[in-house]
Amino acid sequence: MIMGKQGALLAVVIFVSVLVGLAAGGNFYEECDATWEPQNCWAYDDGNRLSLALVSNSSGSMIRSKRQFVYGTVSTMIQLVPGDSAGTVTTYYTSSLGDNQDEIDFEFLGNVTGQPYTIHSNVYVAGVGNKEMQFKPWFDPTADYHNYTISWTPCMIVWYIDSVPIRAFRNYQASHGVAFPTSQPMYAYSSIWAAEDWATQGGRVKADWSKAPFVASYHGINLDVCECYGGGCVASCTAAFGDWGRYCSLSGTQVGKMQWVQSNYRIYDYCADPKRWINGQKPVECNLAQY
């Protein structure tokens, strides 16, 4: 249950079509539930905005969408924690339930004042990830709201910021045996929590708790997903996408923008890190086109 500003809460996940870009709308009261530390969240502006707070190293907050789904686009407008955010992590992701979860991640790793956030992305299938790609932002994510979108279709996953694709991960499961999330319904989540042991410079920089609470702000909520709660709806959601062809490529303009981001702002790619490869072999998908 999501309550109002006075000691109540909420947490957020925003869903919106990729093409909507920065549009916002909907009501957090109706679409989200707080699943961890609801006292550290509050909604306002008739439920159109909310704040999510990290109060101590053991007391942050998390929210989850009421709707479960297979495929669609999920987006949120976030203004990240301003100032010294070292040791904090604000997350926005989709995930199934259980230990062997499927998951698609946006994580925002805080830093000391004046240093850029790290934007972290990853994909898990049946509990196995190890597909990290990281970026530094080309804007100040604490100065205003920006739209973060995950597009998950039977053909590919694409991460967008303000409608600019920053990364794509294509479904090569049938053709090359690359694991891809296709069978487990997911929820959308957002959270803020302390990760002092690794979040900032490998854990060398800790959170300054004298500056707590650390607050991330959200605006608007929309859903553009195929609702699914198990059983036959997985096949139904897959069929609902019809001809996968229209989901299987980015436009030339989009590819150009993604290449610009990756050339200038990507700071880590698991495909370029031999220390992470198994038996010295580059992952199969790293040799295949992703868009």
Please, what are the averages of pLDDT over each run of 10 residues along the chain (291 residues)? 37 31 57 89 86 92 92 93 92 94 96 90 96 97 96 96 97 96 94 80 79 92 86 89 76 96 98 93 95 86
pLDDT of residue 230: 77
Whether residue 260 contacts residue 266, with contact meaning beta carbons closer than 8 Å, is answered with no
Residue 26 is predicted with a pLDDT of 62
Overall size of the chain counted in residues: 291
Catalytic residue among 31, 37, 103, 285: 103
Q: What is the pLDDT of residue 164?
A: 98
- Tokens for 180, please give them: 């891809």
User: Residue 12: what pLDDT?
Assistant: 32
Is residue 48 included in any domain, yes or no? yes
Residue 227 to residue 67: CA distance in whole angstroms: 7
pLDDT for residue 215: 96
**Cα angle for residues 71, 95, 110 (degrees, 5° grid):** 120
Q: Are 191 and 52 in contact (CB under 8 A)?
A: yes
Tell me what pLDDT residue 6 has: 33
- Whether the CB-CB separation of 83 and 211 falls below 8 Å is answered with yes
What CATH number should be reported for the domain holding residue 214?
2.60.120.200
**Kind of pairing, strands 41-44 and 49-54?**
antiparallel
Residue 242 inside a domain? The answer is yes
Query: Structure pTM?
Result: 0.89
- Please tell me the predicted confidence (pLDDT) of residue 126: 96
C-alpha 205/C-alpha 86 separation (Å) is 7
Whether 174 is in a domain gets the answer yes
107, 132, 227, 285: the catalytic one is 107
User: Domains in the chain: how many in total?
Assistant: 1
HEC-encoded secondary structure of the chain: CCCCCCCCCCCCCCCCCHHHCCCCCCCHHHHEEEEECHHHEEEECCCCEEEEEECECCECEEEEECCCEEEEEEEEEEECCCCCCCCEEEEEEEECCCCCCCEEEEEEECCCCCCCCEEEEEEEECCECCCCEEECCCCCCCCCCEEEEEEECCCEEEEEECCEEEEEEECCHHHHCCCCCCCCCEEEEEEEEECCCCCCHHHCCCCCHHHCCEEEEEECCCCEEEECCCCCHHHHHHHHCCCHHHHCCCCHHHHHHHHHHHHHHEEEEHHHCHHHCECCECCHHHHCCCC
Tell me whether residue 107 is one of the annotated catalytic residues.
yes
- What is the reported pLDDT for 18? 32
Look at residue 14 and tell me if it is in a domain.
no
| CA pseudo-torsion sign 112, 201, 263, 136 | negative
Contact 66, 156 (CB under 8 A): no
Q: 56 lies in a domain?
A: yes
Asked whether residue 135 is assigned to any structural domain, the reply reads: yes
Range of the structural domain that residue 198 is part of: 28-285
Contact call for residues 81 and 88 (beta carbons, < 8 A): yes
Calpha distance 77→12 (Å, rounded): 10
Residue 113 in domain = yes
User: Residue 78 domain-assigned?
Assistant: yes
- The two structure tokens encoding residue 283: 């992952």
